[in-house]
A and B are shown apart, each in its own frame.
Chain A
Amino acid sequence: MKLIKKVLTAAVATAMTAGAAQAAITDNEVRIGYLADMSGTYRDLAGPNGLEALRMAVEDFGGTVKGKKIVVMNADDRNSPDVASSTVRQWLDSDKVDMVAGLVASSVTIAATKVLNGSDAIGLVNGSAASSITNEHCSPNHIHWAYDTYPLANSTASAIVAEGGKNWFIVTADYAFGHSLESDVRTVVEREGGKIVGTVRHPLATSDFSSYILQAQASGAQVVGFANAGGDTVNSVITAGEFGLAQSGQTVAALLFFLTDVHALGVKTAQGIQLVTGWYWDKDKEARAWSDDFYKRTNARPSMVHAGIYSSTMHYLKAVETTGSDNAKIVRAEMAKNKVNDMFTKGGYIREDGRMVHDMYLAQVKTPAESKNPWDLYKIIRTIPADSAFRPLSESNCSLVKK
């Protein structure tokens, strides 16, 4: 009996040692893989400049952690979930990557995080919009940093309804992201006492929006909301301007609008549009200073995604340094222990579902008279406090959230 007890104890002890994460930097290097759309529709909002932001973080950190070199590799996901999962699989199996950064199209991120789940590596999601990444698709192996669809729908829509825009017409991109944004907006508008008078769904990457704009115009709605992204939003806004939506008294709401989109449109076309952003390069001194460095290297001002990549990488590297480990479980716990205080946000914190909770901003595109240079694009109307910005844990479907 005594023998059996001894054997059992030994077995349990062995199992625990094997099971416990190893507190060490494996392979004598901290390896970071940057996975993003480098050539397609979402290239500008993350892409090559996001890789530059990541390199800035590594350089600012000194290039090493505890004497171990930080190595950065990158791949183009071509917006394909298949490419994403095979790339991440290869990074884990043969390149022993410790952290995956970038992660743009939501479908790509969901595929990549499925592969990461249960591994020793962690994913820091910055480009994606879908709030499901930390809801039904949450895992202990990833953190969602810059923004998600919850505040986009919630803040933009409720701000506009509060200003009297009760009747909405929504132009929606006909795929998962558009549908979820549309339904989020519907919920908010109806909750605030408004009404959706019509919707129209257009195929992804439509070249001509005049038909949809005409339908929106004919609907007589006070607000025309665009639940689409990237080039589709840009072309929607151009056509809305051309057909004089604003002159006929309709408000245009772009629900997902990146700095790079606004820059492409110019303030003359985009002026007055309200949007929600996780960060703006000109929001304070610290953000400006960092974005000056970024500008010197890329000749462009950073989007919230670029800033998020820098911020999350720095926070990650600090945790690796403190714990002396590049194991996902250990680093994740350490990252959650410390607040995020940097050029991106003050007092940001990581929740158990993997959401980095921070202040969001309701902004408005400046008029040509207000804008002093091609990147002087937003004025911040108000700050959406961190605690009310994101989906409350009480509404969460994430399996990591204890109820």
Chain B
Amino acid sequence: MTMIFGVPAAAFFGQLLLGLINGAFYALLSLGLAIIFGLLKIINFAHGAQYMLGAFAAYLLLNLLGINYWAALFLAPIIVGTIGALIERYLLRRITHIDHIYGLLLTFGLALIIQGLFTNLFGVSGNRYPVPSELSGGVNLGFMFLPYYRGWIVAIALVVCIAVWFLIEKTKLGGYLRAGTENPAIMQAFGINVPLLVTLTYGFGVALAAFAGVLAAPIYSVAPGMGANLLIVVFAVVVIGGMGSIMGAIITGLAMGIVEGLTKVYYPEASNTVIFLVMIFVLLLRPAGLFGKEA
């Protein structure tokens, strides 16, 4: 058997693929964070709770209204994104003129309240959401068994990530967005409703988190704490990629998924620390992050 660094080649490729799948999740979540920070300068600590809300929205849509996975993939982000837009309009907007740290505190507080409410309503053990029947089962790739659903996650997450990057970096709407946050006064003078744009952007970032939540629902337990575990890692990904850099968030997300995946083979005990080690080195060598622009 061919060996790669003491691990059979088959196992090595399997872990590489799994790392890529987890990386797709990180990319999707850090993308939302990067958009919100890059355009609004809000450090959104409620992102994990909003991801959890997405998963619960899918769960409740299925169990209360009988709405299936495919519809939930659209509906849950819209519902949670709307909640996000309301949060921006009625809470975050009041503190835009003061230090960013207050935005962090506000969103952190919201996250605790939302998680607490869901813990009281649903308990901590979580709920099961079935894998959609079209995607159940899997295929033997020779070096590993790949559940179809995991393959779907990578594909759809990459499509969404690239579409969002294109929207923000290459279209006119994206141009307005970037300009609006750069110099809101001039944009207002051109007759563009900047506050509305900001509200929609925050709502969109939140919707991305909820989308990731729906994707996660069939493979993880839908539990109130599911986002809290992930949030800190995703923040590290954003910092490594460069705060606010959209392509940086996507590429770093995928790369960190792979780094973490390989750590789980060679030294599993360190698997939840390795990303922070990378973060320390990146901050030492390139304080603005791998893809960030030096201020």
Chain A residues near B (Cβ < 8 Å):
39-44, 174, 200-203, 205-208, 210-212, 214-215, 217-218, 230-231, 234-235, 238-239, 242-244, 248, 260-261, 263-266, 268-269
Contacts and interface: CB of A to CB of B under 8 A. Distances in A.
Contact of B11 (A44, A218, A230, A260): A218
Nearest to B11: A218
Contact of A239 (B123, B219, B229): B219
A211 B126 contact: no
B231 to A, nearest CB: 11
Interface residues of B, number: 40
Interface in B242-281: 261, 264-265, 268-269, 271-272
Given A218-B11, A242-B150, 7 more contacts: A211-B265, A214-B15, A218-B14, A231-B221, A238-B220, A265-B221, A269-B128
A50 to B, nearest CB: 13
Interface of B: 8, 10-11, 14-15, 18-19, 21-22, 116, 119, 123-128, 130-131, 138, 144-145, 147, 149-150, 219-221, 223, 225-226, 229-230, 261, 264-265, 268-269, 271-272
Contact of A201 (B19, B149, B268): B268
Given A40-B124, A243-B145, A264-B125, A235 B220 contact: yes
Contact of B265 (A206, A215, A231, A268): A215
B131 A242 contact: yes
Nearest to B267: A201
Given A39-B119, A210-B150, A211-B18, A266 B220 contact: no
Contacts of B10: 218
Given A39-B119, A207-B229, A214-B15, A174 B269 contact: yes
Cβ-closest 9 pairs across A and B: A264-B125, A211-B264, A203-B272, A44-B123, A44-B125, A43-B124, A234-B221, A266-B128, A260-B125
A57 to B, nearest CB: 22
A343 B278 CA distance: 55
Contact of A244 (B145, B150, B271): B145
Contacts of A266: 128
A263 B138 CA distance: 26
Contact of B219 (A174, A242, A244): A242
B138 A231 contact: no
29 contacts: A39-B116, A41-B124, A41-B225, A42-B124, A174-B268, A174-B269, A200-B268, A202-B271, A203-B272, A205-B225, A206-B271, A207-B220, A210-B18, A211-B18, A211-B264, A214-B18, A215-B11, A218-B11, A230-B125, A231-B125, A234-B221, A238-B220, A242-B138, A244-B145, A244-B147, A260-B123, A261-B125, A264-B123, A264-B223
Contacts of B261: 211
A199 B223 CA distance: 27
Nearest to A247: B145
A39 B127 CA distance: 17
A327 to B, nearest CB: 37
Nearest to A262: B125
A43 B264 contact: no
A243 B146 CA distance: 7
Contacts of B124: 39-44, 230-231
Contacts of A174: 268-269
A116 to B, nearest CB: 27
- Which of B14, B123, B131, B265 neighbours the largest number of chain A CB atoms within 10 Å of its CB? B123
Contacts of B221: 231, 234-235, 238, 264-265
B271 A203 contact: yes
Contacts of A210: 18, 21-22, 150
Most-contacted residue by chain A among B126, B229, B272 (CB, 10 A): B126
B269 A264 contact: no
Contacts of A234: 125-126, 221, 223
A40 B119 CA distance: 9
A174 B272 CA distance: 11
A212 B21 contact: no
Contacts of A218: 8, 10-11, 14, 144
A263 B125 contact: yes
B147 A242 contact: yes
A203 B8 CA distance: 24
A208 B138 contact: no
Contacts of B144: 214, 218
A203 B130 CA distance: 26
Contacts of B127: 264
A205 B224 CA distance: 13
A43 B119 CA distance: 9
A210 B126 CA distance: 19
Contacts of A231: 124-126, 221, 223, 225
A234 B221 CA distance: 7
Given A39-B119, A215-B11, A238 B149 contact: no
Q: Which of B119, B145, B150, B265 has the most CB of A within 10 A?
A: B145
B150 to A, nearest CB: 7
Contacts of B138: 242-244
A206 B269 contact: no
Nearest to A214: B14
Contacts of A212: 264, 268
Given A202-B268, A239-B219, A242-B131, A211 B15 contact: yes
A230 B126 CA distance: 10
A63 B18 CA distance: 57
A101 to B, nearest CB: 20
